């Protein structure tokens, strides 16, 4: 008997789904969710095993426009289907996939029914900042991963949960980063902001105690951001307008291993004497800048990229302060092509100093 009611409801929904616009579908999904929670369609004799897993609501309360495979009961797949709105999200869902649609906005409340949401994957839509409610993400205390890259956001969304670990906002049009944007996100480990229009981050990065990866490639920065996070290990700043760096920007950060500053406006005048002479750094990319001399680096550095600058001399003292059997550079890769030096400019003691280098490009 109950089985018949379920079949009728399903048949009617399938019928309607042919003719109803997206908004009605959201409403119908909600209705179906309620039907389930009132016990209709609950099978005790296994008749509907092919329809859904026993005692598993994931198939039944799934919005019609999405897939909720029984094998992944906490996931809802709504990606790649031309959606213009966020569908109803059932309360037990933890992972929602909405990427590659045509969603332009998110209204307050759409995620409030699912407080355990852990991942929201929403890249490659048409989101603009003025169509995202100011409290859309505010009631998601378990959200760890938020993918909003490849949209058309002009500002960092407000009230993002402190629980975030992985935040992708790259490839938008973000120029506004309110001061408190990342406030309290003490578990955030990766922040992707590349390919935006950011001119200044102010102190916005302060308090990101766990951040290890910061990607700011392709913005409009004129300075290295202030208050770089203390545990940062990879810093990507390529394709900005940075012309100088602060003297202590590396010495305060023992975990920083990779620093990429290629395609900026750096000159030797903008680089304080020992700014890059820190033993923790493993890779330094200064290619495509305006350097005329090789900056002093630590003997611990392994990869140094200096191609496409205006370097006129090969100064061994930049790599080794003392050259003897015990004192030499750990440099493995040195790229110097597209500068103003030739192999004849390399002094003999360079061989001793750079004895570990397997790859020197001139």
Largest CA distance in the chain: 93
Member of 81, 92, 310, 355 binding ligand NAG (CB under 6 A): 92
Stretch in the footprint of ligand NAG (CB under 6 A) among 40-48, 213-221, 322-330, 338-346: 322-330
CB closer to ligand NAG out of 242 and 301: 301
Beta bridge partners of 111: none
Contacts of 218 (CB under 8 A, 6+ apart): 194, 195, 196, 238, 239, 240
CB closer to ligand NAG out of 126 and 355: 126
Member of 26, 212, 262, 277 binding ligand NAG (CB under 6 A): 277
CB closer to ligand NAG out of 287 and 329: 329
Contact string 103-122 vs ligand NAG (x = CB under 6 A): ------------xx------
* Residues 250-269 contacting ligand NAG, CB under 6 A: none
Nearest approach in angstroms of CB 59 to ligand NAG is 16
Alpha carbon 7 to its chain centroid, in Å, reads 44
274 binds ligand NAG (CB under 6 A): yes
55 binds ligand NAG (CB under 6 A): no
Q: How far is CA 346 from CA 37, 269, 355, in A?
A: 78, 24, 14
* Residues 233-252 contacting ligand NAG, CB under 6 A: none
Nearest approach in angstroms of CB 1 to ligand NAG is 29
Member of 84, 108, 173, 330 binding ligand NAG (CB under 6 A): 173
CA separation for the pair 112, 244 (Å, rounded): 46
* E strand intervals along the chain: 75-77, 95-97, 119-121, 145-147, 166-168, 190-192, 213-215, 234-236, 258-260, 283-285, 303-305, 333-335, 359-361
Member of 244, 268, 280, 296 binding ligand NAG (CB under 6 A): 296
CB closer to ligand NAG out of 172 and 307: 172
321 binds ligand NAG (CB under 6 A): yes
The tokens of 81 are what?
A: 């289907």
CB closer to ligand NAG out of 87 and 308: 87
CA separation for the pair 301, 121 (Å, rounded): 38
CB closer to ligand NAG out of 232 and 308: 232
CB closer to ligand NAG out of 58 and 262: 58
CB closer to ligand NAG out of 244 and 300: 300
Member of 43, 118, 180, 186 binding ligand NAG (CB under 6 A): 186
The tokens of 136 are what?
A: 């859309």
CB closer to ligand NAG out of 177 and 308: 177
The pairing of beta strand 166-168 with beta strand 303-305: unpaired
Long-range (24+ apart) CB contacts under 8 A made by 178-183 are 178/204, 179/203, 179/204, 180/204, 181/156, 182/156, 182/207, 182/208, 183/207
330 binds ligand NAG (CB under 6 A): no
Cβ atoms of 165 and 145 within 8 Å: the answer is yes
300 binds ligand NAG (CB under 6 A): no
Nearest approach in angstroms of CB 248 to ligand NAG is 13
Site for ligand NAG (CB under 6 A): how many residues?
22
CA separation for the pair 184, 197 (Å, rounded): 24
Question: Residue 24, Cβ neighbours under 10 Å: how many?
Answer: 13
Cβ atoms of 309 and 277 within 8 Å: the answer is no
* Residues 147-166 contacting ligand NAG, CB under 6 A: 152, 154, 162-163
Q: Which residues sit at the interface with ligand NAG, rule CB under 6 A?
A: 91-92, 115-116, 126, 128, 152, 154, 162-163, 173, 175, 186-187, 274, 277, 296, 298, 321-322, 326-327
């Amino acid at each position: 008997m109950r089985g018949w009611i379920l079949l009728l409801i399903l048949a009617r929904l399938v019928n309607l789904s042919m003719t109803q616009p997206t908004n009605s579908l959201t409403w119908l999904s909600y209705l179906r969710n309620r039907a389930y929670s009132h016990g209709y369609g609950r099978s005790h004799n296994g008749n509907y095993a092919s329809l859904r897993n026993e005692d598993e609501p994931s198939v039944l309360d799934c919005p019609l426009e999405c897939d909720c495979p029984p094998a992944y009961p906490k996931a809802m797949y709504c990606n790649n289907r031309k959606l213009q709105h966020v569908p109803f999200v059932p309360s037990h869902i933890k992972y929602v996939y909405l990427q590659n649609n045509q969603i332009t906005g998110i209204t307050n409340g759409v995620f409030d029914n699912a407080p355990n949401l852990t991942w929201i994957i929403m890249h490659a839509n048409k989101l603009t900042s003025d169509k995202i409610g100011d409290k859309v993400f505010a009631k998601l205390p378990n959200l760890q991963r938020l993918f909003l890259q490849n949209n058309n956001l002009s500002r960092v969304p407000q009230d993002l949960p402190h629980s975030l670990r992985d935040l992708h906002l790259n490839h938008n049009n973000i120029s506004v980063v309110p001061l408190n944007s990342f406030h309290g996100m003490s578990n955030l480990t990766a922040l992707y902001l590349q390919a935006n229009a950011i001119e200044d981050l102010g102190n916005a990065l302060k308090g990101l105690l766990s951040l290890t990866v910061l990607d700011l490639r392709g913005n409009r920065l004129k300075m290295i951001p202030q208050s770089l996070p203390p545990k940062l290990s990879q810093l990507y700043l390529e394709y900005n307008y940075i012309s100088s760096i602060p003297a202590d920007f590396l010495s305060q950060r023992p975990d920083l291993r990779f620093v990429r500053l290629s395609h900026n406006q750096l000159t030797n005048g903008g680089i304080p004497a020992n700014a890059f002479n820190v033993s923790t750094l493993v890779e330094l990319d200064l290619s495509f800048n305006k350097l005329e001399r090789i900056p002093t680096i630590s003997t611990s550095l392994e990869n140094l990229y200096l191609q496409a600058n205006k370097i006129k001399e090969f100064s061994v003292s930049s790599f080794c302060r003392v050259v003897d059997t015990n004192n030499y550079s750990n440099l493995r890769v040195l790229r110097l092509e597209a500068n103003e030096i030739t192999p004849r400019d390399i002094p003999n003691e360079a061989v001793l100093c750079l004895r570990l280098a397997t790859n020197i490009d001139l």
